[in-house]
């Protein structure tokens, strides 16, 4: 399963990504973490990123795409991935599409967590007020002012991706204002609906129950066959087991013989009936 999570800051993308990772064994791809890992590993792309980061500039899209490309080739990607925080712009999305096409990787869906911005700001204001009341330190980037700027950037740069992926029929929208549990259930439901998730495995108890139901009619047929074979077997010889009712000994040998005799008798009766019918037709024609 290959997914992109889309939504404004505070929509809960990180929380839902972690739940998907745990449920389906996916790898969460964070561009920041991938950049740091590539720099630490001193890969060719990582060395390019290191020079750019050292100068304090933003890492160009082509370098980020190169790092994602290297990461997709790692063995732990076999179950799929979740991209959170990338792409942020339409050009990045187009570059990612081209990369996935070259690698013959299909993007299953882009899950958008749609939220009410006013409600998000109210949440942050309430959380900040509660933290200050408890005497806790408030993070610089966790204030209504900072969130307002981040939301404005999202609307300008990232929100056009909703239209981009909607045109490509990849967009799935979920109400991010529901509780965390409800959002998780809805994401799992829509992923199952589009076939991105395999059907649930039937529990062991249900499987055993189904097997027993299937086995009962078959068992009755076997028992009937055993009784017939037992009647056809020579008298005085034990043909069935008292517990299981299965054919044993002479009964097993007698069953095929009895079946053969029954088939022979049926054939003879059919031939006799044909001869009688033929004689009747001949007599009627002679009278005419």
Tell me the chain's radius of gyration from C-alpha atoms: 36
Q: What is the pLDDT of residue 82?
A: 95
* Active site members: 13, 88, 127, 139, 150
User: CA distances (Å), 7 to each of 13, 61, 107, 257, in order?
Assistant: 7, 20, 18, 75
Q: Which phi and psi angles does 246 have, rounded to 5°? A: -95, 150
Q: What is the pLDDT of residue 202?
A: 39
CB 188 within 8 Å of CB 198: no
Q: What is the pLDDT of residue 277?
A: 58
DSSP annotation of 57 = P
Length of the chain: 288
Q: What is the pLDDT of residue 280?
A: 59
Tokens of 155: 């609307």
> CA-CA distance, 220 to 225, in Å (whole number)?
9
Q: What is the pLDDT of residue 236?
A: 47
Q: What is the pLDDT of residue 16?
A: 94
Task: Print pLDDT tens along the chain (288 aa).
Answer: 999 999 998 888 989 999 999 999 999 998 888 888 888 888 888 888 888 877 777 788 998 999 999 999 999 998 899 998 899 999 999 999 999 999 999 999 999 999 999 988 888 888 888 888 998 887 777 788 888 888 998 999 999 999 999 999 999 999 999 999 999 999 999 999 988 876 544 344 554 455 565 555 555 554 565 556 556 555 544 444 444 444 444 445 444 554 556 556 655 665 666 566 556 545 555 554
| The model scores a pTM over 0.85 | no
Half-sphere exposure (CA, 13 Å, Cβ side) for 162? 15
Please spell the DSSP secondary structure of 26-42, one letter per residue: -EEE-HHHHHHHHHHHT
According to DSSP H, which parts of the chain are helical?
13-24, 31-41, 44-54, 61-72, 90-102, 117-133, 144-153, 160-167, 180-193, 204-232, 250-287
């Amino acid at each position: 399963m290959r997914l992109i999570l889309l939504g404004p800051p505070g929509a809960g993308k990180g929380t839902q990504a972690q739940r998907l990772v745990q449920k389906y064994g996916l790898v969460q791809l964070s561009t920041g973490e991938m950049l740091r890992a590539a720099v630490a590993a001193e890969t060719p792309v990582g060395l390019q990123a290191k020079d750019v980061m050292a100068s304090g500039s933003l890492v160009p899209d082509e370098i980020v795409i190169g790092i994602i490309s290297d990461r997709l080739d790692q063995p732990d990607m076999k179950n799929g991935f979740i991209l959170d925080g990338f792409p942020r712009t339409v050009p990045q999305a187009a570059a990612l599409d081209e990369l996935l096409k070259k690698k013959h990787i299909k993007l299953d869906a882009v899950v958008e967590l749609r939220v009410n911005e006013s409600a998000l700001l109210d949440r942050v204001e309430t959380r900040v007020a509660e933290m200050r009341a408890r005497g806790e330190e408030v993070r610089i980037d966790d204030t209504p002012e900072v969130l307002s700027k981040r939301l404005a950037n999202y609307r300008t740069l990232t929100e056009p991706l909703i239209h981009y992926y909607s045109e490509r029929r990849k967009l799935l929208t979920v109400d991010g204002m529901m509780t965390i549990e409800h959002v998780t259930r809805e994401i799992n439901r829509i992923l199952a609906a589009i076939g991105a998730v395999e059907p649930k495995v039937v529990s062991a108890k249900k499987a055993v129950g189904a097997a027993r139901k299937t086995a009962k009619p078959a068992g009755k047929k076997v028992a009937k066959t055993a009784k017939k074979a037992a009647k056809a077997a020579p008298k005085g010889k034990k043909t069935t087991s008292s517990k299981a009712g299965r054919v044993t000994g002479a009964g097993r040998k007698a069953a095929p013989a009895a079946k053969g005799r029954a088939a022979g008798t049926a054939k003879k009766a059919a031939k006799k009936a044909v001869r009688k019918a033929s004689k009747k037709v001949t007599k009627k024609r002679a009278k005419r």
